[in-house]
Structure 1
Amino acid sequence: MTSTEDVHTDEQTELAARLRLVVGRLHRRIRIDGRESIPPLQLSALATVEQHGPLRLSELARREAVTAPTMSRVLTALDEQGLVIRTPDPNDARGVRIVLSEEGAARLAEVRSHRTALVARRLARLDDAQRATLVAALPALEALLVEDD
């Protein structure tokens, strides 16, 4: 490697570390300040069902990167709270598909609204130039969410 490539790699590594740290801390702060009554994995499962549902338990577990027994416990808790509905799988009489209940959709919307308000309050502390910088950076940040092929 040339020294220019070394500097470029060092800069990217530093940028990656700083970005990881700030995103992680901001996420944690939002979660703590949000004081949601729904644990993180349950909340994530609700969002996944909303986005991709109806889903079988195995598919939901795969999307959440947890084991089927773990997801079964999560779904039991969500079902007990009335946040999901188990419906028969039309392709497999033994299986069920998970969909959001009206209450589940309402709770998810409530959490999102509350978290958005928390971020908005933090954004209000920034000056106009800092907010403009964030607006300009959003397309690049959103591009980071695109999966690798």
Structure 2
Amino acid sequence: MTTGSVETEELTALAARLRLVVGRLHRRIRIDGRESIPPLQLSALVTVEQHGPLRLSELARREAVTAPTMSRVLAALDEQGLVIRTPDPHDARGVQIVLSDDGAARLAEVRSHRTALVARRLERLGREERQRIVAAMPALEALLVDDD
């Protein structure tokens, strides 16, 4: 076996382990969090917060769902008072979606709760294990950068 193929196998094994750990940790946080907001609604709120104001079609594209699906999501968020539909200044027929004060507060609450859940899991680790996670954070954060 060549050095290149050994490195490829090691990289693939690492990728599989990382995918599994991150996926399971994310699922565990979601389950333990018992949020009242379904995942797609929560994701849409975050996207509106980060990129808003957005038209429904742009929000649907960013969330990789159809416009009818996003319309149902927005109807639920609007009903809860978490988003506000405002007239589109560039198109009198269109509306833009912005986060309401209640939506921002709900996001802050979810983030705080999820952070506390992760902190409790981190407390179970020894000091050395936590320091290894701290040391790995820059590399993990670099994985979030999209390829251009």
TM-score by length of 2: 0.99
Within a 5 Å distance, the mapping from 1:98-113 to structure 2 comes to 98-113=97-112
Query: Number of paired residues?
Result: 148
C-alpha distance in 1 between matches for 2:60 and 2:134: 34
Gapped regions of structure 2 (runs ≥ 5): none
Give CA-to-partner distance per residue, 1:41-89, whole Å, 9 cap, x none. 0000000000000000011001100011100000000000000000000
- Runs of 4 or more above 2 Å deviation: none
C-alpha distance in 1 between matches for 2:65 and 2:76: 16
C-alpha distance in 2 between matches for 1:96 and 1:112: 28
Within a 5 Å distance, the mapping from 1:34-53 to structure 2 comes to 34-53=33-52
Tell me, what secondary structure is at the counterpart of 1:28?
helix
C-alpha distance in 1 between matches for 2:141 and 2:60: 25
C-alpha distance in 2 between matches for 1:118 and 1:38: 17
Give the structure 2 partner of residue 82 of structure 1: 81
Tell me, what secondary structure is at the counterpart of 2:36?
coil
Give the structure 1 partner of residue 27 of structure 2: 28
The structural deviation recorded for 1:113 is: 0.2
Root-mean-square deviation (CA, aligned residues, Å) is: 0.6
TM-score by length of 1: 0.98
Gapped regions of structure 1 (runs ≥ 5): none
Give the structure 1 partner of residue 144 of structure 2: 145
Identity of aligned residues (%): 84
Tell me, what secondary structure is at the counterpart of 1:114?
helix
C-alpha distance in 1 between matches for 2:111 and 2:42: 10
C-alpha distance in 2 between matches for 1:113 and 1:99: 22
